[in-house]
Amino acid sequence: MLKQFTLLALLLSSAVSQGQTLTTNTGTPVGDNQNSKTAGNNGPVLLEDIHLIEKLAAFDRERIPERVVHARGAGAYGEFVAASDFSDVTKADFLSKAGKTTPVFVRFSTVVHQNGSPESYRDPRGFAVKFYTEQGNYDLVGNNLPVFFIRDAIKFPDMVHAFKPSPVTNGASDPNRVFDFFANVPEATHMLTWLFSDYGIPANYREMNGSGVHAFKWVNDKGEVTYVKYTWRSKQGERNLSQAEADKIQSTQTEHATLDLRNAIDAGNFPKWDLYVQMLKKEDFEKLDFNPVDVTKIWPEAVAKPVFVGTMTLNGNPENFFQEVEQSAFSPGTLVPGIEPSEDKLLQGRLFSYFDTQRHRLGGNFQQLPVNAPKTPVTTYNQNGYMSLRKQTGDVNYQPSESKPSVKDDAKFKYSHSPLSNVETTQAKISKPNDYAQAGELYRSFSKKDKDALIYNLSGALKQVKNKVVVAKMIGHFYQADREYGIRLAKELKMTREELENLISH
């Protein structure tokens, strides 16, 4: 028996010696990773145990600030292949030739809820794509739904606060707070109709469409501007969950969508999406009964026909979730020549907010992290700060300069020209808000089954709202979108017309 034990010990010792040697962060071999250095066998631990101190200090700092929104997410690598040459409308190089392939990293996410929350909650889904183009990175940061709740970034913190837990109870998202906010935001009627239909709970990330949501500008070499909206169409088909189906999933697992994506890629079942754009010229804007850069509106296909742009395939899983998914950083301000932001007031605020939150979460040099770094060389005099990893050489760190070789800007990459005339600063609602028309059109486009699910989901949430004035206002919004829509909700909530009129008037 003793011989057998000795042999086993020798085998284990040999296995350890043949493996990689554990090191500190500086590469120094570690002699003992199981026992701290002490003063005597039973004495106090010594501060000079550098490995112990480093190990604890690293552990203490493993968590970084959670994203305020889009905290719960999954990611994957892949490629995008352009379908045609679009250089007549944009100088974006990755769209300049049919068949041109661009590597991508994609992050899918829920929006409101915290990291680790169930992926079966009713919630929009983030759909963010980072294109590693030859002209630098381009981030197409959108959602699964084609519109949004609000049209002005000044409302965004308030909207998120309404969705988040109460600062008093820290309880889960409360319909009393949510609808107290939206009762006074009629522009949200369209998005709420999407959200409380079964589209509000995608079955998983693979069987989910995506949207750039905002209008953007494509600019060609002549400086000509075309406004565009993006749509991703899943080649796996689009599938959503009823509330009952979502509840069943939630009872057994919280990460079904993350695992579904990872397992499919591991099995070689690579998910694909086709990218389409709709195009409008500025001179066509006045022909429409809504503002085309209003993020609460879609562009009907009769107005702007979708044009096939290319196909994205996801074929690689991250090797380390934290480094590649949690530290991935997206911003609608990460643009390439030929793509610019529109005048959309929500988008304009996001241009600041997304960069700002990434600098808070990850530090000022977050774009140097491997998952965020461009594949093309970087030439910049931005320097130093926390975690500065980019190699910097030479004495000249300023421009202009007569040094050789010189670094200069290039006029062909200037922003497009946007003429303004007879303009004064103002704070006002946009022209042609038309808050209800598209919500009504969406409701009428639903099948009977989808309408029934919408009324069931929405009335279920409104039944939890204690303030009946808020309930009456919400019914009023949906009634203005479509008469049947409002009447069905009122009936389900057992509220008479006289009661509604009395509540709203007070």
CATH number at 257 reads: 2.40.180.10
What is d(CA 86, CA 97) in angstroms, rounded to the nearest whole number?
7
In a domain, 267, yes or no: yes
| One domain, residues 276 and 362 | yes
Instruction: Say yes or no: 228 and 332 in one domain.
Output: yes
Cis bond upstream, residue 405 (ω within 30) = yes
- pLDDT surpasses 90 at 146: yes
- Helix residue ranges, H only, 251-374: 256-266, 321, 345-362
Whole-angstrom Cα distance, residue 416 to residue 341?
A: 10
| Residue-wise pLDDT tens digits, 307-358 | 999 999 999 999 999 999 999 999 999 999 999 999 999 999 999 999 999 9
Is the residue at 25 inside a domain? no
**Tens digits of per-residue pLDDT, 65-93?**
999 999 999 999 999 999 999 999 999 99
Q: Are the CB atoms for 179 and 465 separated by under 8 Å?
A: yes
Say what the pLDDT of residue 405 is.
75
Residue-wise pLDDT tens digits, 402-460: 887 778 888 888 888 888 888 887 888 888 999 999 999 999 999 999 999 999 999 99
The 3-class secondary structure across 72-118, one letter per residue, is CEEEEEEEEEECCCCCCCCCCHHHCCCCCEEEEEEEEEECCCCCCCC
pLDDT score of 42 more than 90:
no
Residue 45 lies in a domain: no
Average pLDDT for 292-300: 97
Q: Among this protein's residues, is 143 annotated catalytic?
A: yes
Burial class (CB in 10 A: 0-12, 13-18, 19+), 420: exposed
Q: How confident is the model over 45-69, as a mean pLDDT?
A: 88
**Annotated catalytic residue: which of 70, 113, 190, 477?**
70
Put simply, whether the predicted model's pTM sits higher than 0.75 gets the answer yes
In this prediction, residue 505 carries a pLDDT of 79
Residue 54 lies in a domain: no
**Which of the listed residues 368, 396, 425 is the one where a domain comes to its end?**
368
Pick from 139, 105, 146: nearest CA to 125 = 146
The C-alpha atoms of residue 189 and residue 478 are separated, in whole angstroms, by 7
The pLDDT assigned to 15 comes to 43
Look at residues 222, 244, 148 and name the one whose alpha carbon lies nearest to residue 188.
Answer: 148
Is 70 catalytic? The answer is yes
What's the pLDDT band for 11 if we cut at 50, 70, 90? Answer: very low
Q: 214: which 2 tokens?
A: 């905002």
Rounded mean pLDDT of 355-379?
Answer: 92
Residues 209 and 357 in one domain: yes
Q: Do the beta carbons of residue 316 and residue 460 sit within 8 Å?
A: no
- Counting the structural domains of the chain, the total is 2
The one-letter amino acid code at 69 reads: V
The residue annotated as part of the active site, out of 137, 143, 291, 365, is 143
User: Among the three residues 341, 368, 395, which one is the final residue of a domain in this structure?
Assistant: 368
Residue at 469 is within a domain: yes
Q: How confident is the model at residue 6 (pLDDT cuts 50, 70, 90)?
A: low
Same domain, 341 and 485: no
Q: Which of 337, 368, 399 is the last residue of a domain?
A: 368
**C-beta separation of 147 from 197 below 8 A:** no
In a domain, 134, yes or no: yes
Tell me the per-residue pLDDT of 171-202, one tens digit each, with 9 for 90 and over.
Answer: 888 999 999 999 999 999 999 999 999 999 99
Domain housing 362: 73-146+203-368
